[in-house]
Structures are given as structure tokens and as C-alpha cells.
């Protein structure tokens, strides 16, 4: 992405309240689906992929990914936690971290998660409860 083009992730980071943030990363709940516990880990600095990350960003990425994944397992009855990054639509490094419970229809399991419907949205009160629990989990060492 050219530096003169707007970045929706950079713009959102200026105007939103994340679940958690540290020097390099911001964690927020996705507003894209009705999956409670679907979070995004976003780089605070604008870069495309981990090949462009600093050593410090690389070190802290593993730590934040592990802590988010463990937090999801504590808060959601997830059998699996999917993690992936694409960067095709928004070329700002961000990772999708998605719990897969036993209630998820088989058609959306594994690679099928990429076809999961974007509507309806998750209940905002459930997102708030999850986000509060995740914030507490991420503050613990």
C-alpha cells in the first residue's frame, strides 16, 4: 500500500478502544461475524507481513499470539483456535484468531472458515463480556 493511500486499520487504531495493546500490537474483537472470541491482532506500525517486522516485533508477536490463544481457550469452549493472515484486502499486517467450537457447522471448519457468513453480527453484550475477560487474561503474566 502506498503511504499516501488511506489504511483502514491505521484509521481504526486512531479511533477505537482495543481489548489490549502493547508497544507493537493491538488486540481487538472482530466486528465481522457472529463468532464470539474472534479477535484480530494488528501491528501498530504499518507493514505488510512479518518479513518487514523488526526483531522486537517478531519476538513480541509470538508472545502476544500465545497469550491471545490461551485467553480464547479459557473464555470460549474452543476445540481449535484458527490463526491466519492474508493481507490481500487490507495490506497492513493483522492476524485473524478464531475459536472453533463444536457447534460450528462442519462446512465452516478448517479452510471452510474463509466462507463463514459476515452477517449476522455477534451480540454486543457477549462481545463485551468476552473482551473484558480477554483484557484481564492478557494483563496477567
Encode the chain (141 residues) as per-residue pLDDT tens digits. 445 678 988 888 888 889 999 999 999 999 889 999 999 999 999 999 999 999 999 999 999 999 999 999 999 999 999 999 998 888 999 999 999 999 999 999 999 999 999 999 999 999 999 999 999 999 886
What CATH number is associated with residue 55? 3.30.428.10
Cα torsion angle, 118, 19, 23, 83, sign: negative
What are the b/e assignments for 19-57, b being 16+ CB within 10 Å? Answer: bbbeebbbbbbbeebebbbbbbbbbbeebeeeeebeeeb
DSSP designation for 18: -
* 25, 42 contact by CB (below 8 A): yes
pLDDT of residue 32: 87
**Tens of pLDDT along 115-125?**
999 999 999 99
In a domain, 3, yes or no: no
In a domain, 20, yes or no: yes
Domain containing 124 equals 8-139
pLDDT of residue 5: 75
In a domain, 1, yes or no: no
Amino acid at each position: 500500500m502506498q503511504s499516501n493511500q488511506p489504511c483502514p486499520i491505521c484509521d481504526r487504531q486512531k479511533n477505537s478502544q482495543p481489548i489490549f495493546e502493547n508497544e507493537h500490537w493491538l488486540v481487538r474483537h472482530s466486528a465481522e461475524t457472529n463468532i464470539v472470541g474472534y479477535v484480530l491482532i494488528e501491528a501498530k506500525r504499518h507493514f505488510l507481513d512479518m518479513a518487514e517486522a523488526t526483531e522486537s516485533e517478531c519476538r513480541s508477536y509470538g508472545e502476544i499470539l500465545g497469550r491471545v490463544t490461551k485467553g480464547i481457550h479459557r473464555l470460549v469452549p474452543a476445540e481449535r483456535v484458527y490463526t491466519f493472515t492474508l493481507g490481500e484486502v487490507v495490506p497492513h499486517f493483522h492476524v485473524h484468531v478464531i475459536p472453533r467450537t463444536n457447534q460450528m457447522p462442519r462446512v465452516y471448519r478448517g479452510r471452510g472458515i474463509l466462507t463463514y457468513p459476515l452477517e449476522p453480527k455477534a451480540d454486543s453484550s457477549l462481545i463485551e463480556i468476552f473482551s473484558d475477560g480477554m483484557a484481564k487474561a492478557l494483563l496477567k503474566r
